[in-house]
């Protein structure tokens, strides 16, 4: 059994853990948590605790969304780069094929001229 307490979440009280993984990761248990203020104080009353927990979860959500947006933007930039490189490669190949075709036509023209 592995106990996990993320660094960015206030430490649980007593001998508790935020997450426990049983066995080879086949079962994960996530604990509930009372609303704890950033300074570690336990807020008075369920409503205050719920507001604090909700604010923390919202902040975690926003942080993760920013990370995902940055990841999406990096992926989009990489796709643009690959597309641009691919288009340039295609243009280079097309130009090479055109030059080769012109060389073949010139070779046939010279051969024809010699035979005529």
pTM: 0.46
One-letter-per-residue 3-state SS of 24-62: CCCEEEECCCCCECCCCCECCCHHHHHHHHHHHHHHHHH
Diameter of the chain measured on Cα atoms: 106
Residues 6+ positions from 28 with CB-CB distance below 8 Å:
19, 20, 21, 22
Whole-number Å distance between alpha carbons of 100 and 3: 67
Give the pLDDT confidence score for residue 99 in this predicted structure: 92
pLDDT by position in tens, the chain (length 116): 777 777 777 777 777 777 777 776 567 666 666 667 778 888 888 888 888 878 887 888 888 899 999 999 999 999 988 888 888 888 888 899 999 999 999 998 899 888 87
Helices (H) and strands (E) in the chain, counts: 1, 3
Q: What 3-state class would DSSP assign to 13?
A: coil
Q: Are 15 and 3 in contact (CB under 8 A)?
A: no
């Amino acid at each position: 059994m592995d106990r996990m307490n993320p660094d960015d979440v206030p430490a649980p009280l007593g001998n508790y853990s935020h997450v426990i993984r049983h066995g080879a990761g086949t079962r994960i248990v996530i604990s509930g948590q009372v609303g704890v203020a950033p300074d570690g104080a336990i807020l008075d009353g369920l409503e205050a605790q719920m507001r604090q927990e909700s604010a923390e979860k919202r902040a975690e959500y926003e942080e993760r969304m920013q990370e995902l947006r940055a990841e999406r933007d990096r992926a989009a930039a990489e796709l643009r780069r690959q597309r641009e490189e691919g288009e340039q490669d295609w243009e280079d190949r097309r130009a090479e094929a055109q030059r080769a075709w012109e060389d073949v036509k010139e070779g046939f023209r010279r051969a024809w001229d010699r035979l005529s």
